[in-house]
């Protein structure tokens, strides 16, 4: 039997989602909790990787068991067992061929920039000393929607078969003293969003013009893009699956 877990986490204490040989990850922490409570070794498959320090407001994972579970009871026990920076939102049975990673059709991230020192957003926003030009950054971001190969924004050492992604939304907005970049796509490459934000900031600060950004997209060369911004201000906002495709 296969179950989906919907969860949220503060990634500040973790070296990303995926299990690491020498560092703590969200996957390892959740697997340990499930294995302890169910008294059997549980391996989970997540909807995707997140970088070190990145947070998730919504992410899904699946795991298999031989016998049916009391989902509501297990959800409560997991939330009591897990550290406070990981929260189980829901747990439900799905068809045995349902896959948390491969069946996801859309993912959305948000990156937060703070233009003013604020103790209540510290650790969740990237502070900038100068306000970048949002209009120029949005003009450059619009080019992402017409592009497909994003090798220029991918971490160089990665095992992906293709660098193609279909970005359906990429825009900056302002919420008081915080600038928010929202980007949605069918899939993302490792380090992709952070590299995009860093490169768009180069445009916003006048270090790169629109033609320069267009040249970066065509280059397929990570060294031509801007510096990646820190992970602690990045949130996986939501993961979307086909409507009515999962819950039994």
The CA-atom distances, in angstroms, between 238 and each of 94, 130, 202 are: 19, 30, 27
Q: Which residues are catalytic?
A: 51
Angle in degrees, CA 211, 215, 216, rounded to 5: 120
Please tell me the distance from the alpha carbon of residue 183 to that of residue 147, in angstroms, as a whole number: 14
On whether the CB atoms of residues 31 and 43 are closer than 8 A, the answer is yes
Longest dimension (CA), the chain: 59
H or E element in which residue 187 lies: none
């Amino acid at each position: 039997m296969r179950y989906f877990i919907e969860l949220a986490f503060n990634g500040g204490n973790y070296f990303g989602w995926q299990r690491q040989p020498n560092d703590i990850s969200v996957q390892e922490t959740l697997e340990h909790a499930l294995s302890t409570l169910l008294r059997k070794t549980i391996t989970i498959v997540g909807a995707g990787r997140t970088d070190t320090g990145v947070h998730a407001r919504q992410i899904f994972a699946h795991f298999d068991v031989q016998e049916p579970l009391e989902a509501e009871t297990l959800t409560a026990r997991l939330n009591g067992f897990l550290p406070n920076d990981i929260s189980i939102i829901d747990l439900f049975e799905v068809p045995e061929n349902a896959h948390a990673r491969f069946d996801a059709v859309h993912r959305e991230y948000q990156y937060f920039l703070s233009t003013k020192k604020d103790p209540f957003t510290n650790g969740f926003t990237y502070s900038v000393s100068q306000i970048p030009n949002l209009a120029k950054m949005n003009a450059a971001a619009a080019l992402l929607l017409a592009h497909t190969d994003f090798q220029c924004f991918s971490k160089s050492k990665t095992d992906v078969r293709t660098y193609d992604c279909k970005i359906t939304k990429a825009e900056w907005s302002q919420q008081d003293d915080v600038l928010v970049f929202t980007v949605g796509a069918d899939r993302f490459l490792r380090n992709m969003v952070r590299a995009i934000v860093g490169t768009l900031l180069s445009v916003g600060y006048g270090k790169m013009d629109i033609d320069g950004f267009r040249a970066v997209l065509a280059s397929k060369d990570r060294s031509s893009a801007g510096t990646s911004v820190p992970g602690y201000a990045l949130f996986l906002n939501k993961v979307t699956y086909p409507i009515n495709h999962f819950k039994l």
